[in-house]
Amino acid sequence: MLIRFGYDITVHCPQATPMIAMMSPRDERRDDLRVQAAVVTVPQVATSVYRDLFGNTCRRFTAPAGQFRIRSDCTIESSDAPDPVLPGLQETPLADLPDDTLIYLLGSRYCETDRLSQIAWDLFGRTPPGWPRVQAICDHVHNHIRFNYMNARSTRTAYDAWQEQTGVCRDFAHLAVAFCRCMNIPTRYVNGYLGDIGVPVTGPMDFAAWMQVFLDGAWHTFDPRNNKPRIGRIVVAHGRDAADVPLIHSFGPHTLMKFEVWTDQVA
């Protein structure tokens, strides 16, 4: 299956402003790209690419004063199968976890494990460990938070989402990530492209957030916002939480003028 994906974003900057964009698929999907158009900026500026400590692709540039546009349009080959469901997977004992997973057990900017630990154990301490426990967490978060674009807030943490019971996909992900970490299951926050392939169209497309959980020696996808297997995920970045993987990190003020994202199955 082929998926065309991309973005077209325009911002207005009062002065020349350095930025970092994280909107390109991770290197694991590089060989799947079938059409890889160059990133276009208007006006044209020099850009450079580096990998951060999580291996995400980061693009640096300086947006000049005034309106600045950045655009990309690519096609990738992807499986037409939905996310795998593997209920027999078990948790890896703490003593046997790989060193590089341990960071995903710790609290972070948006995932306050210290404030949520007792809540997590009260809710999920009696659930069967492994995949069933993670699914129980996703089920609970999915039912606890009401999705509402109008209630999006960049400062909302996992504990805030628990208290306010409203938010967007990043809030679902943060709360589920925090609960899993409280239960000693390594879990990382993920953002990327997720279209409406195989499901009813739900509105304008956007970047999506979900999570990956370490079970039986590998990372596996869970999505507390949608809470059902989906087709055609394209991972852009993963980290401890949204603070590690902003779509655009701006070192100065800017105003968003246009934001368009697409990810569609094509012939």
User: What pLDDT digit, counting tens, does each position of 115-134 carry?
Assistant: 999 999 999 999 999 999 99
pLDDT at 231: 96
Instruction: Please indicate, yes or no, whether the overall pTM of this predicted structure exceeds 0.85.
Output: yes
d(CA 59, CA 62) in angstroms, rounded, equals 10
Average pLDDT over every residue of 153-182: 97
| Domains of the chain, start order | 2-79+247-266 (2.60.40.2250), 94-230 (3.10.620.30)
Residue for token pair 């239960």 = 183
Confidence of residue 70 (pLDDT cuts 50, 70, 90): very high
Structure token digits, residue 125 = 């301490």
Instruction: Write out pLDDT tens, residues 170-186.
Output: 999 999 999 999 999 99
Average pLDDT, the chain: 96
Per-position b or e across 201-216, b if 16+ CB within 10 A of its CB: eeeebbbbbbbbbbbe
Please tell me the predicted confidence (pLDDT) of residue 36.
81
Q: Answer whether residue 45 shows pLDDT above 80.
A: yes
Q: Tell me: pLDDT of 29 over 80.
A: yes
pLDDT of residue 38: 82
**pLDDT-derived band at 98, boundaries 50, 70, 90:** very high
- pLDDT, position 107: 97
Would you state the pLDDT for residue 204? 78
Region 68-75: mean pLDDT is 96
Query: How many residues are there in the chain?
Result: 267
pLDDT at residue 54, as a whole number: 97
pLDDT digits (tens, 9 = 90+) for 247-264: 999 999 999 999 999 999
Q: What is the pLDDT of residue 50?
A: 97
Q: What is the per-residue pLDDT across 192-226, written as a single tens digit (0 to 9) for each? A: 999 999 888 777 788 999 999 999 999 999 999 99
| Cα–Cα separations (whole angstroms), residue 113 to 116, 149, 160 | 5, 25, 12
DSSP 15: S
C-alpha separations of 80 from 88, 213, 222 in Å: 23, 22, 17
Per-residue pLDDT of 132-145, as tens digits, reads 999 999 999 999 99
pLDDT number for residue 149? 86
Q: Are 216 and 92 in contact (CB under 8 A)?
A: yes
